[in-house]
Amino acid sequence: MSNDEIAPPLDVSDEWIRTRTGIARRHRIEAGTSTSDLAAAAGRAALESAGVGTADMVLLATSTPDRKCPSTAPEVAWRLGLGEAPALDVNAACSGFIYALALASSHIRSGAHASVLVIGADCYSTIVDPADRSTAVLFGDGAGAMVVRAGEEGEPGSLLATTLGSDGSGGDFAAVAAGGSRLPHGARYEAAGAHHLALNGRQIYLQAIRRMSAATKSVVAAAGWAVDDLEALVAHQANQRILDAVGKRLGLSPGRLVGNIEDVGNTAAASVPLAMADAAERKCVPVGGRTALTAFGAGLTWGAVAATWPAATPVTSPAETRA
């Protein structure tokens, strides 16, 4: 959906949206499609890209599950034919994929599993008020995935260090108030719009810049690098102004900032893997290049991963249709 398609009802323009967000278009699911559909398609593409038919575990980063209960990951694992592999949702909002990568790394380092399928999938069109221009222009739906496996030291794609953090005092800065145990769904909450995502834009802007910058510095140091050693920074694709500010604070040139927010918008937990897949297709980061991944999300949550760029060929797969 281009800006011209969504702008008129919001009384804004393409220029208004681009200037404030850097977004030109975003994708949204059609009626009858859900997060599990996108997650299964992305998971299948990742398994194909990795040249494997299975994984020992599935971690699905999402804050828009198909249902409140149960979690969505087991259904995704079943649809991918992964037998009785353990599967769970990781809800850290837009930081979910980074959290899931850190968990996958820990499981593999402990020897519990040899491979983990990590998926980031979100359909924020299902929780955004289409009449609220502060959120409607930002969010798109999407999914991305990667297979994380045990490897050899020095192998491209190595996960070298991780850092995670949270601050629950800012939990109201980006939240869907109703639908949980505190405010169960009801007509009065829906009438008040409490079942839609509400953002404190100013606080999110300031916190995102601060937290992603600090997390990146921390994880780079843990890997034994200097920030200037980075060949690529893949930050959560929230808003182009945030991405530019993070790059400036870290002293990184625009050429080292990997992103595709112009074409997909803010896809929440899917944004980091989608940006990586786009960069891999364009071959704009050298294999083995020193890379940092970072994200900030509601909760508040944030995190970062230091890695070397993988020797991977992405596979793009359209969302499957359930039989």
> Residue 236 catalytic?
yes
27 is known as an active-site residue: no
**Annotated catalytic residue within 3, 91, 94, 123:** 94
Which of 3, 239, 260, 266 is an active site residue? 266
What is the DSSP secondary-structure string of 174-239? EEE-SSSSSS---HHHHHTTTTSEEE-HHHHHHHHHHHHHHHHHHHHHHTT--GGG-SEEEE--S-
Q: Rounded distance, CA 43 to CA 250, Å?
A: 33
**Cis ω before 300 (30° cut-off from 0):** yes
Which residue of the set 107, 113, 196, 236 is catalytic? Answer: 236
Q: Do 281 and 265 touch, CB atoms closer than 8 A?
A: no
As given in the structure block, the two tokens for residue 201 are 């834009």
Cα angle 86, 92, 97; round to 5: 65
Cα distance between residue 61 and residue 120, in whole Å: 5
Q: CA end-to-end span of the chain, whole Å?
A: 27
| Residue 69 annotated to the active site | no
List active site positions: 94, 236, 266
